[in-house]
Structure 1
Amino acid sequence: MFRAINKVAKNSKALKNQTEVIRCLSAQPQTKSKQTPRAEKAAKPNLSFVHNLFRGQVESSQVFPYPIALNQEQIEYVGAFVDPVSKFFSEVNNADRNDMNAQVDEETLKHLWELGAFGLQVPQELGGLELNNTQYGRLAEIIGMNDLGLGIVIGAHQSIGFKGILLYGTKEQKEKYLPKVSSGGVYAAFALTEPSSGSDAASIKCRAVKSADGKHYILNGSKIWISNGGIADIMTVFAQTEVLDEATGQKKDKVTAFIVERGFGGVSNGPPEKKMGIKCSNTAEVYFEDVKIPVENVLGKEGEGFKVAMNILNNGRFGMGMTLGGTMRYCIQKATDHATQRTQFGKKLESYGGIQEKLARMSVLQYVNQSIAYMISGNMDLGSNDYHLEAAISKVFASEAAWYVCDEAIQILGGMGFMRDTQLERFMRDLRIFRIFEGTNDILRLFVALTGIQYAGSHLKEVQKAFQNPAANLGLIFKEASKRASSYIGLGGVDMTGLVEPSLKNSAKLCGESIDMFARTVESLLIKYGKKIVDEQFLLNRLADSAIDIYAMASSLSRASSALKSNSPTADFEKLMVETWCVEASDRVRINLRKIHSAEFNENYKRMSVISKKLCEAHDIVHNNPIGV
């Protein structure tokens, strides 16, 4: 057993070489630590549930009890906006008209500015409503229930457009720009993506050169698919700059973030893109030609633009879960209305088992998604900085669950669901982009798996170090040995039953067993592949899916436990949904982890790789037509 730990620790050294690969894949910057060994010991512990999941440990502080960060005054404050926002969508906004015209009319936008919808999280003294993340998410739910296209106009403006100013802006930058974008009628945009750099954000070509007198930068280049790109007058723009590396004394290119005004001159844009969905949001290519940017408009520090960009995206991802929770609710309403009214073969649709299964799964997915999103926002509002993997999971889960729920709603409605009047076809078109933008789900799965594996590998290296001086580290050694021994022989292991209400202990047991299996799989992958695990994307995807299911189990268990403890009127119904979720999620975890270990499935992944290569060589299907003509 100790030899196994030692072997893993040796292989974990090779994970250092993954840093640059993960940095390009990830939504969280990976930087080398300059801490001394003593400083490392004093480093703040990582309280992320998902990070520690990869070590087979339950870090419960951010999960149990369910984190609600609002006091009564804050609940009443956001509650005061619920009715006006709902009224806006029922009386002012016309989602179908927005979609057909591929734009939002000025009168509708004027109402939004008057509501304060474009400055939800900006401090009141700078013109905003000063909502925290949970309050922001509650209003995002209402938007998602009505018009996703309009939601992008609002979200691209503040969730990413000027979010960098909120997170990294100096006092002067905030005072200059935030009043304009929160209440001054000025739109903002986030300009990162380029023709040659999509998911690989670090490879951007846009360049800013500092002037000889050091007072400004000259920006040249272009960005594509920029939400609000044709209407924004203030943009957060990312460009390569030449930066002096203090460690080596050499100059090297690093990305820097800038606040760019259209009024600087040299900023232009192409026509609005013609899109599958979210048509009313303006999406355009943006061009920069000799744009003169004052040095005081650097956002954050020179050369740290990649960090700025990724943290902006990390900070805003939870909102997608909130928004799409609203979309799922709309779909469920449409489906249940139809199922209770439509009669086929002499019976209401709601009485058929096939329809009941669909409706139940739709409700469970909405509940679990909402549990994840509000858990993350609650932790953020309570001051957590350890939520990046959770936010990535939330984005993946929400975008895929919403697509499934919408698709099933259309199926339940049958031909009626295919018609424009139900609005489900518009929601489906709008939903498709959510699995792509702000980090594709494919990249975020790799981010979750590789970052988690790297975290697990660093821990196992600590164990190896402990063996170099066993007398001083007996506690760590025996703790690790005991954990593995109990896990391998089926004794003890992860026990989550004490974290939940007693009536949920069977579901908690399923979650704990999943964590045990997951941690053993992570360790076996480290032993087998070392740094080469980065190339095993078939396996990494199974691992990421397992992590997603486990975090979803823990989040929903926590929420339902809180509901039961507080005697919520819906507690028993929530218990039903969580029990249903944990049975199926734990089964998927077992299946996915078994596939990782299965020689048969590993051989099948090789077949898939060969099939894919042959398709790409042919740029077409390879097999012949059955009749040979």
Structure 2
Amino acid sequence: STSFVMNLFNGQLVPDNVFPFPSVLSEEQTQFLQALVDPCTRFFEEVNDAAENEKLEHVEEATLAGLKEMGAFGLQVPEELGGVGLTNTQYARVVEVVGVHDLGVGISLGAHQSIGFKGILLFGTQRQKEKYLPKLASGSWEAPSSLALPVVGGGSTQGAGLGFTAVPGRDGKREIPGGKGKNPMTLSNGGTAEIFTVFAKTPVKQPTGEVKDKISAFIVERAFGGVTSGPPEKKMGIKCSNTAEVHFDNVKVPAENLLGEHGKGFMVAMNILNNGRFGMASALSGTMRGVIVKAVDHAANRKQFGDTISNYGAIQEKVARMAMLHYVTESMAYVVSANMDMKVPDYKLEAAISKIFASEAAWLVGALPGSLFAGNGRGTSPETGVERVLRDLRIFRIFEGTNDILRLFVALTGIEYAGVQLKNLRATVMNPSGKTEVILKEIGMRAKRKVGIPTGLSLEGVVHPGLDKSAYLVTRAIDLFGEAVESLLLKHGEKVIDQQFHLKRVADAAIDIYAMAVVLSRASRSLSLGHPTAEHEKLLCQTWSHEAFERVRENLRAVGSSAWNQAFADMKQISNAVVQNKGILAAHPLGF
């Protein structure tokens, strides 16, 4: 596979696309980007007022006008269609700047273009692009972030529970019956959007002649009629971004507004999500950078017991952890965006991991300064700005695919790939056809992994010699991972899908190994180029790799441990008992 993470599930180390740390911007692209980033930074420092936006619960008019003037609503739309024409890496850098200052504005912009009209950008016909993208890029029209893919009962879906059906109308148009109050969706930018990407079941004739319902994607304008929105939702965070319930009621959609191929809507939706997730990691790395600046300023200036608190070990551990989490997130963001610019065919697991890691790392970084500021009663005070950021951050673990669902996606997608490879190996063993050398190599690797002997995976010549120990930890982790995944497959077969306790730990191990790899690659580049920060980055890499390897080993031990299997069975019983009791079952200690 072209995916670094996918290959991990087969116990393979394929360094391409991660090592060396990808560099995809030409000198001209870098200069253009800097010319955009500088005024963007000044704008958010001098014009945008994040606190005022939150108070108003919408973006201030001056900010909105300035964003439109800068072209912020069409950063990746081609220049000939009215946009700025940024690559994915350039876009990531601009989004990072926004993330430093105001996640509410970031959501409004990201909702609009990372997801909102991304379907038109990726799958639209030339006519569709020419009709819609100029208005969307100018900001005169908006698009919602959440795809209009309603699910009966809510939650995640593979399409079976899709709530909309598009039926043929008398005038050649498709009609989405919907109905007021039926399958409403809560969408970012839902109350202000003029364009929606709607997914609905449509009858598709199969090669056998049988007709089956398949998902198709449609571009829907509010002006078509039948599209209504509720009032803005009251939210915990990102208050200045519009979030509203949207209803579709007998909406008639012209035939030319089919997006992509008939019956291929699910593929369109998944590509939009995979393509849009990378921006979240870059935005949140910016947020983390801004929080860390505030935290270390306080730590360096506050005195306690006759010394600045930055000299105490407990505080130093917090600051170091914030720096490591930021370093990993930023590294992931720019590896994924570079892979996209390099036209790497498969990056879906890397994109999902970057979203999971960034949203959880940012939450931790946002929470840590609370204890630093707490000494003078400002731990949760709006005065620092950290409290607002923490509320803004909460949603990132939930939308664009909840982290729980994405963990299952990572684990099951990778395990499915490993299963296919294992099946192919078995077929080759049964019918060697001159492939004896390949068979012996594969069986030899598996035998070594089974007894805990390193298989010989190496990053020698790829990684700077100063990071050999960290490189060994990565290769050792891949060996342990490949053995654990294969053991799960052999034990459970297709029923592995039901082993969610194990799948979560497999996903966490994959996330940690990928995190180790990207920081190893980045720190190695810094050392090789002699960057002034190279020794600091070496420390970040070594410390992170040590901690991550221990987590990988512990998670994989749990996957194969009988004691953990019993613990998982016990947890299942505990959960069932609490659910059946509709609350806590244990007796109160005072007998009430």
Instruction: Give the TM-score normalised by the residue count of structure 1.
Output: 0.91
Which residue of the partner structure matches residue 164 of structure 2? 206
Q: Secondary structure at the match of 2:14?
A: coil
What's the CA shift for 1:224?
1.6
Give yes or no for the alignment of 1:239 onto 2:239.
no
Gaps of 5+ in 2: none
AA aligned opposite 1:398: A
AA aligned opposite 2:531: S
What's the CA shift for 1:503?
0.4
Q: How does 1:58-207 map to 2 (within 5 A)?
A: 58-183=13-138, 185-189=140-144, 190-194=147-151, 196-200=153-157, 202=159, 203-207=161-165
Q: Per-residue displacement from partner, 1:440-468 (whole Å, max 9, x unpaired)?
A: 00001001111101100100111111122
Q: Secondary structure at the match of 1:285?
A: strand
Gaps of 5+ in 1: 1-45
Q: Secondary structure at the match of 2:101?
A: coil
AA aligned opposite 1:476: V
Q: Per-residue displacement from partner, 1:163-201 (whole Å, max 9, x unpaired)?
A: 000000000000000001001511112322446232225
Distance in 2 (CA, whole Å) between partners of 1:370 and 1:195 is 37
Distance in 1 (CA, whole Å) between partners of 2:153 and 2:35 is 45
Closer/same/farther in 2, CA of residues 514 and 423 from structure 1, 3 Å limit: same
Moved more, 247-256 or 378-387: 247-256
What's the CA shift for 1:102?
1.2
Q: Give the one of 490, 501, 506 matched to 1:527.
A: 490
Distance in 1 (CA, whole Å) between partners of 2:304 and 2:139 is 55
AA aligned opposite 2:252: K
Which residue of the partner structure matches residue 618 of structure 1? 581
Q: Give the one of 468, 477, 482 matched to 1:514.
A: 477
Which residue of the partner structure matches residue 443 of structure 1? 405
Closer/same/farther in 2, CA of residues 313 and 223 from structure 1, 3 Å limit: farther
Distance in 1 (CA, whole Å) between partners of 2:250 and 2:189 is 22
Which residue of the partner structure matches residue 306 of structure 1? 266
Distance in 2 (CA, whole Å) between partners of 1:220 and 1:297 is 18
Q: Secondary structure at the match of 2:368?
A: helix
Which residue of the partner structure matches residue 391 of structure 1? 351
Higher relative contact order (CA 8 A, sep 6+): 1
AA aligned opposite 2:395: I
Give yes or no for the alignment of 1:274 onto 2:234.
yes
Closer/same/farther in 2, CA of residues 556 and 134 from structure 1, 3 Å limit: same
What's the CA shift for 1:106?
2.4
- Alpha-carbon contact 1:196-1:204 (below 8 Å) kept: no
What's the CA shift for 1:262?
0.7
What's the CA shift for 1:275?
1.0
Distance in 2 (CA, whole Å) between partners of 1:223 and 1:479 is 55
Q: Give the one of 365, 368, 372 matched to 1:412.
A: 372
Which residue of the partner structure matches residue 363 of structure 1? 323
Distance in 1 (CA, whole Å) between partners of 2:449 and 2:176 is 59
- Alpha-carbon contact 2:164-2:176 (below 8 Å) kept: no
Closer/same/farther in 2, CA of residues 282 and 195 from structure 1, 3 Å limit: farther
How many residues of Structure 1 are paired with residues of Structure 2 in the alignment? 583
Q: Per-residue displacement from partner, 1:455-495 (whole Å, max 9, x unpaired)?
A: 00100111111122224321321220222234345254322
What fraction of aligned residue pairs are identical, expressed as a percent? 55
Task: Quote the RMSD (CA, aligned, Å).
Answer: 1.3
What's the CA shift for 1:508?
0.5
Distance in 2 (CA, whole Å) between partners of 1:382 and 1:248 is 39
Q: Secondary structure at the match of 1:207?
A: coil
AA aligned opposite 1:479: K
Q: Per-residue displacement from partner, 1:414-444 (whole Å, max 9, x unpaired)?
A: 1313100111111111101000000000001
AA aligned opposite 2:70: L
Moved more, 87-96 or 468-477: 468-477
Q: Per-residue displacement from partner, 1:357-392 (whole Å, max 9, x unpaired)?
A: 110011011001111110010111011121000000
- Alpha-carbon contact 2:166-2:174 (below 8 Å) kept: no
- Alpha-carbon contact 2:229-2:247 (below 8 Å) kept: yes
- Alpha-carbon contact 2:76-2:84 (below 8 Å) kept: yes
